[in-house]
Structure 1
């Protein structure tokens, strides 16, 4: 044991290994030491501990906790006084009870999105935190990496600067190809989901989180339809919606995990239109680089020296680094530092769940999203 505060990761799945470990490695000594990992099975816990040792270049492997023995189970991990914060990366329906368990043990919590499997359970979870654990000084944040992505946040700054004028409309198109051989599909809890929407919930919250960051007003109303185009992606794999944001902004959001091909059409991405220009936002991969990039292309009007109206193009490119950004912000928060980015707010994350839930159940009827998250 040591007096230096440490962290633990709960969950040994793909995202823990391929996102959280690299982000911790990138942070280096500025991140708290990883002291323990947990998974239900001993093998997966040991696998994550070994991966962490290699990724973080540790001289001592983090302790591997797992079910089946009181000396190595989750309660034993949470009883350690050298662990002050927990990263939760578990299946969607498992997370709420584990979040409360960790908070009850006096740990700060960063839990992976979505905040909860549905709005009702999310409201209860937030209420429990607000009334019981927040007053004790415990911090709970929701890890939504799209909200933290520097590229999307840069677009939000451009929009708020007024460069494209008053925002009038937007379009979000997400087209994903998911086959049975995908590593994401092969996760048992995703293959037979026990939560609404399947991949639409698991991945769809990313889209609304990006819109939250980029648009000047929150989404308020929705009308749409859901469908299932590939049986193995049940219960749903596609939604088409018309959306309202703030008092005047109108838009559309189309999300599918049932693309017939691996290739993506050029329409995939975001477009935000204003009274003085527009912004397109897409994910790209540059040759020779494995890291995806968020590219924003900005077109705006301006008056030339002669008084003629001309059009200007600007391009912003930012590497995907949202997980690193959200971890940095969380670690700062548990030290009592406020970075001013307001990342990980559970109620904001619940609005993302509300969008997906409304899209799944609308059947063409108008849904008030603000009322939905009020319960």
Structure 2
């Protein structure tokens, strides 16, 4: 079954992340329509995409058209819930870029929408091979029981960075700016490998006005699997670093996303070289499987809500100077 897709939002994600992936999946998808904030951007995207791509002046017009079977949302985060809801009302399946919403409270509303057309939250980190292999390694027990983790992430986003230059990111309506925008990626991978986060004790700072919100965070976490750990991130750092380590009873594994390697320290030292993937083609392929009736386990709203709630718990903890249980956000919402 080839699915006709309508692209909503002709910005960086659609042009540089989704389009290359969809060009690898022409047996599964065809881009037939585009809508964006301005007609000029939509027309530019249609030209880049090639083929017979219809430009729509409104999202509602696209949803009510027979030109598309499903829509791809790559819009400002705060707009996600209302646009997902509109797609559900129009009985159009939707794949939407993460985070699912600006806050956990807004995200939870999506769990209770009437109807059953698929809603798929496009979290590509759940599809990246190095993280999937790390999950298998841990769950097979090869290194014994996991005890603790450390994730250090420095991101060299200067004022000229293309994401920083995005207007809606300069005055973010979503919690924590880049801390949630990028942080849900890492939490998705963390949860897939080690399980759900239960409590967060956080610290955060806003060091640079140009990043719009908090740009530095340290989150100390406890997980349901009796694992403890630390996630530390700085946006606007002078250099980049992405170091993720898991300590187990019988060894340590270093997970390197950028190099797609797992370095294992146990009775023997071993380095595994995996395929370098960004996960976008894989997530669209999985979306297609869901459209054909497969259970949505990797792109569900429930998973996206947990990712966002984990980050929000850390940000609340930093503000209120208390330990925050992740499930308290789910109950309050």
SS in structure 2 at match of 1:362: helix
User: Is 2:130 the counterpart of 1:133?
Assistant: no
SS in structure 1 at match of 2:25: helix
Residue 224 (structure 1) aligned to one of 194, 198, 202: 202
User: Is 2:171 the counterpart of 1:192?
Assistant: yes
Corresponding residue of 2:37: 40
How far did residue 318 of structure 1 move? 2.4
Contact (CA 8 Å) 1:5, 1:82: kept in 2 or not?
A: no
Corresponding residue of 2:275: 318
Matches within 5 A, 1:54-65: 60-65=51-56
Moved over 4 A (4+): none
Residue 260 (structure 2) aligned to one of 290, 294, 299: 294
How far did residue 7 of structure 1 move? 1.3
Contact (CA 8 Å) 1:6, 1:34: kept in 2 or not?
A: yes
- 1:102-156: CA deviations, max 9, x gaps? 111110011110011101101112222xxx122xxx1111001111112111110
SS in structure 1 at match of 2:240: coil
How far did residue 247 of structure 1 move? 4.2
- Name structure 1 gaps, 5 residues minimum: 54-59, 67-72, 285-292, 302-310
With normalisation by structure 2, the TM-score equals 0.95
- 1:343-367: CA deviations, max 9, x gaps? 1111111111112212212033111
How far did residue 321 of structure 1 move? 3.2
Matches within 5 A, 1:199-214: 199-214=178-193
Residues in 2 aligned to 1:335 and 1:373: alpha-carbon distance in whole angstroms? 30
How far did residue 4 of structure 1 move? 6.0
With normalisation by structure 1, the TM-score equals 0.84
* Higher gyration radius (CA): 1
- 1:143-194: CA deviations, max 9, x gaps? 0111111211111011111111000000111110111111111111112212
Corresponding residue of 1:350: 305
Residues in 2 aligned to 1:74 and 1:190: alpha-carbon distance in whole angstroms? 22
After superposition, the Cα gap between the structure-2 partners of 1:278 and 1:349, relative to the gap in structure 1 and judged at 3 Å, is: same
Corresponding residue of 1:238: 216
- Name structure 2 gaps, 5 residues minimum: none
After superposition, the Cα gap between the structure-2 partners of 1:38 and 1:313, relative to the gap in structure 1 and judged at 3 Å, is: same
Residue 248 (structure 2) aligned to one of 274, 280, 297: 274
